Homo-oligomer: A and B are copies of this chain.
Amino acid sequence: MDLAAAVLEGNRLALARCLTQIENGTLEGRDALNRLFPNTGHAHLIGVTGAPGTGKSSLVNQLARYYRQPGSLENSTRSRPLRIGIVAIDPTSPFTGGAILGDRVRMRDLAGDSGVFIRSMATRGSLGGLAHATAGVVQVMDAAGFEVILIETVGAGQAEVDIARLAHTTLVVEAPGLGDEIQAIKAGILEIADILVINKSDQPGAEATERALRSMLQLAHPVPHIFQHHGHLEIVPASHLESGNKTLWVPPLQRTVATEGVGIVELVSVIERHYQFLQDTGEWQQREQARLQSELNIILQETLVDRWRSTISEKRYNDVLDSLVSRDLSPWQAVETLLDGDLE
């Protein structure tokens, strides 16, 4: 079977198989990706990240369901239904067995719709490796014609942020009552937000969460904006920024209650406004380039290491490692010895 051709024809079994090959880093997967790559670059990649317990999975499901209904889309040149891919990244422990709970909910909601394809990925080995595998998975879905790809990451660490950076539009999800808001903000995910979502906004503390987020946003995006324009300082009023200004995007804040479907229409409208912003300002192209360059550098790095490792003997590597462990060589000295040392 020609895997890439079958994927392009819309064969779901071939798609699933191809994604497995990509995840496992096989040569078959790489060959398929090489064939599929010219068909990529069309999907709108939407990252959804935030701390555990904020209800990201429900939100992703609701977004998918809404995009699947026929109808026009506010603030957009696109019209529904759109074909939806979902990639759920799950930094799962080996013994808890993965995104099973979330997946059951998903399956019930979205099963049987051929316009939706769901893929869960668990962390195996390094998270750098996961971000890399995710890039490949997203590219295959993109080539297979999924027009919106929702990338959901559990957790709020830097590595999840790196995965979210794959996206064109990043939603950071908060929820009331998850402890000190300052803590969440310290986790460093606010500055990657294109859109802030306060989910579970019917719960106590939603007002306080919104206030805290607004004041943090104000620190990040002082309003009115003062910036240099043709050599003099220019003051842009907040209203201008929020509505018409084409070159600046101030992350809007949207309340939702995903389990009830509240705020989903409004959230999609904001997402579509961001999609238009990316298109109109050339930011879309810039993000594409940054993403591909980052991927190029990661593969370069891996390949250089693999090639180097094939040139030295296991014994030599272990001898140097022994000198490191016995503190006869520092890590930097060990590397110099391996790369430049006498090979005898």
Q: Are A332 and B30 in contact (CB under 8 A)?
A: yes
Query: With A157-B156, A187-B154 in contact, do A301 and B305 touch (Cβ < 8 Å)?
Result: yes
Shortest CB–CB separation between residue A289 and chain B, in angstroms? 5
CB contacts under 8 Å to B, within A271-299, are 288-289, 292-293, 295-297, 299
For chain A, residues 89 to 117, give those with C-beta under 8 angstroms from any C-beta of chain B.
90-96, 99, 101
B332 and A33 within 8 A (CB): yes
Beta-carbon contact of B299 and A332 below 8 Å: yes
| Cβ distance A300 to chain B, nearest Cβ, rounded Å | 5
Other than the given A52-B156, A91-B187, 20 more pairs (CB < 8 A) read A30-B332, A33-B332, A34-B332, A37-B329, A40-B327, A52-B186, A52-B187, A91-B188, A92-B186, A93-B186, A95-B219, A154-B187, A155-B158, A155-B187, A157-B159, A178-B178, A288-B325, A300-B308, A300-B338, A307-B339
Q: Chain A residues in contact with chain B, CB under 8 A?
A: 30, 33-34, 37-38, 40-41, 51-53, 90-96, 99, 101, 123, 126-128, 130, 154-160, 162, 178-180, 182-188, 190-191, 216, 219-220, 288-289, 292-293, 295-297, 299-301, 303-305, 307-308, 320-321, 324-325, 327-335, 338-339
